[in-house]
Amino acid sequence: MAQVRQTKTEQRIREALVSLLAERGFDSITVSDLTRRAGIHRGTFYAHYVDKYDLLERQINAVYRNLADILEGDAEKPGNSAGEMGAGSRDFIPYGRVLGALSYIRENYPLIAALTANGTDQRLYERAKQLLGGLVERGAALAGTKLDFGGVPETYGREMMLAGVTSVIWLWIKNGCPEEPRVIANIIWKNKSRSLEECVLS
């Protein structure tokens, strides 16, 4: 019973944070603002969080863990499952997992928009990029292959590869996630291997 009360209290605090972030910037929010909005005492807040920075960081961490669970899936199966777009054992950013992550983002858009300042805060962006990088590298290792960036130094090649995918997702968040997750997953899938020259019509 105590655990249920704790979960409900944390949910109220999270909802207060989300609503206040939607109204104003994080810097202008106080613990008093959060407790008033959540309808709790300051002592109750401090029983759960050290301060507002701890609250924000823990919400970001929770979203990151959920995305990691979705994207990493079965670590022994780097490719797509049958029936997904472009299924193949060498697809290290699997379509089905990307679609799952996009669906999670859209279902939790108010929280993610608040935590990312509508896609402008880079903390989750950088962590999502690292997550995708780990997924690709793990898939390559499991397949017994190495990443090849066509002569581009690995640091830069890796950044170009991962930033392209992550930037599409973040633009979608900035725009309010208007398209269905499958539309964005298809855009990522179709364009993740296209070069700049291929994007220019002759």
8 A C-beta contact, residue 47 and residue 35: no
Q: Is 90 helix (H, G, I), strand (E, B) or coil?
A: coil
* Interval 146-167 mean pLDDT: 84
pLDDT, tens digit (0-9, with 9 covering 90-100), for 23-81: 988 999 999 999 999 999 999 999 999 999 999 999 999 999 999 999 887 544 444 44
- Per-residue pLDDT of 89-98, as tens digits, reads 456 678 899 9
Rounded CA separation 77/142 (Å)? 8
Cα-Cα-Cα-Cα torsion 59, 62, 66, 68, nearest 10 degrees, comes to: 110
Average pLDDT, the chain: 83
> How remote is the C-alpha of 116 from its chain's centroid?
10
Tell whether the model's pLDDT for residue 166 goes beyond 50. yes
Q: Is the pLDDT of residue 104 over 90?
A: yes
Considering the entire predicted model, what is its pTM? 0.80
Kindly tell me the burial class for residue 45, based on how many C-beta atoms sit within 10 Å of its own C-beta (0-12, 13-18, 19 or more): buried
Written as six digits, the tokens of 110 are: 């108010």
Residue type, 135: L
Cα–Cα distance for residue pair 149/154, rounded to 1 Å: 7
Residues 162-180: what's their mean pLDDT? 92
Place of tokens 């208007």: 178
